Structure 1
Amino acid sequence: MKRPLVFYKRTYTFKDGLTLEFGNRTLIMGILNITPDSFSDGGRYLDVDAAVARAREMVEEGADLIDIGGESTRPGHDPVSAEEEIARIVPVIRALRGSVRVPISVDTYKAKTARAALAAGAHILNDVWGLKADPEMAAVVAEHGCPVILMHNRKKMDYADFVPDVLADLQESVRLARAAGVADDHIWLDPGIGFAKDDERNLELLGRLGELAALGYPVLLAASRKTVIRNTLGLPADDVVEGTATTTALGIAQGCQMVRVHDVKANKRVARMADAIVYRQAGEKKGD
């Protein structure tokens, strides 16, 4: 008999009174790219007013938090300086603090950007290099006492045993966080779909997310509109809502407790239905 899922339970209360609660339903993270070159929506939200309008729309559709990025991480992207990244995201963070009542996550691997974002009012850091790109990043997280999302990534696809290697890489990121003084309950994990993985490996990992959830930390699944979905379906990025929704449902069924998505309304509905099944089976309260 399959072992029932046990979901991580915790309520995070931030300094401004905003909260996030794990354990009762899947949380929806809405994507807000403040970049000219993101693969799906590059250039659409560079203007602060446009970014705020999009964030408000996502919250109305059911987003529990907003993830802001100032540097594209698509394959072949052009890196930007911390100064440029800060110039893009800080005005948006400040504007959002007065416009939406949900926590703000910032997608950055640079300590300088992280400090500026937190000073502007961000609540969570989302590091696509799992604290391994900037040696000061872990200290920033510890100093501010904020949750941090540790994503799996590596420079080369030189795996000896793919999924165990992914888990080991993430456990190394956890070790870096703990060594810097980051509280264990401030650590969230992301399997890094699309990063240092080809389509075959991405599909394998999407089918083995339960092994990551078994590590005991909240798992964020960020597969929205990724290349593996586009290639599998043979469709462009703006026409894969069903493919993304499939990964959302399968991720929830394997223990993922948050999904990072472009199409909030559709994935919110998928999550509510999946939660009604999965959380009941796990013995938890069903999704709202």
Structure 2
Amino acid sequence: MAHVDERSDRPGTGRLVLAGTPIGNVGDASRRLVDLLETADVVAAEDTRRLHRLAASLEVTVQGRIVSFHEHNEAERTPDLVAAVRDGATVALVTDAGMPSVSDPGYRIVRGCVEAGLPVTVVPGPSAVLAALAVSGLPSDRFAFEGFAPRKPGERARVFTALAADQRTLLFFESPHRTAATLEAMAEAFGADRPAAVCRELTKTYEEVVRAPLGDLAAWAQSTEVRGEVCLVVSGATEPPARDVGDLAVEALELVTSGYRLKDAVRVTASRAGVPARSLYDEVVSRRRG
């Protein structure tokens, strides 16, 4: 197996450097980020205008070539940037905020360099995911980042139903105008009493963290104008107590009465209770026939 020396700070050694940028407060920029922006041969930026504003705030002059690198041109630009690394250039990748590749461009170029046997390293920096997890007040020993929830209600409900029994703390990004609908869907799938937190505008002037059960957060979001960058943190499921399959069948049938399709009602009820959907389905069908 070929080995790539990641200690790639030797002169003349090409490397890709993933650099974390502030998520709101420019004071969070690291000294290493400043040095990298000053010395990189190429700076690939998600938004070149934001890069120029960041550099001005840090009083940094970017000496290297600046290229745009975003979701619409990532596939096209990756081969040229990999070639630059191969030729000995230091290529710095920065996104608008936080760490590249985390719900941001970066994965393709990392894979390209890895497959070419080229060094990839990192200048760690702020992360909205970890910041939200830390301030949420929810368990942080085991967690999963799920990115943005699907926009379509049906797909969103299916995703949340599949996650309802997950015992890890779950984190999601969300746009402010969809926050209320997403919280309502979470309350439906996870239960209105599930502890959660809405973290918005972290590190910025109007930072706000609202901690409450999902049902209360859904009502709060409906009654206020949610603004800014939003991260939703939801506590994992607790170990479900043993439930009588007959009682669960009654719950599923109540969902059917309220408008759920039979299979969806069984899936939601089984997921909440942590029981196999197949056995619950058989019980529900038997009761309907009886």
Q: With structure 1 as the length reference, what TM-score do the two structures score?
A: 0.29
In terms of Rg, which structure is larger?
A: 2
Q: Structure with the greater relative contact order (CA < 8 A, sep ≥ 6): 1 or 2? A: 1
Q: With structure 2 as the length reference, what TM-score do the two structures score?
A: 0.28
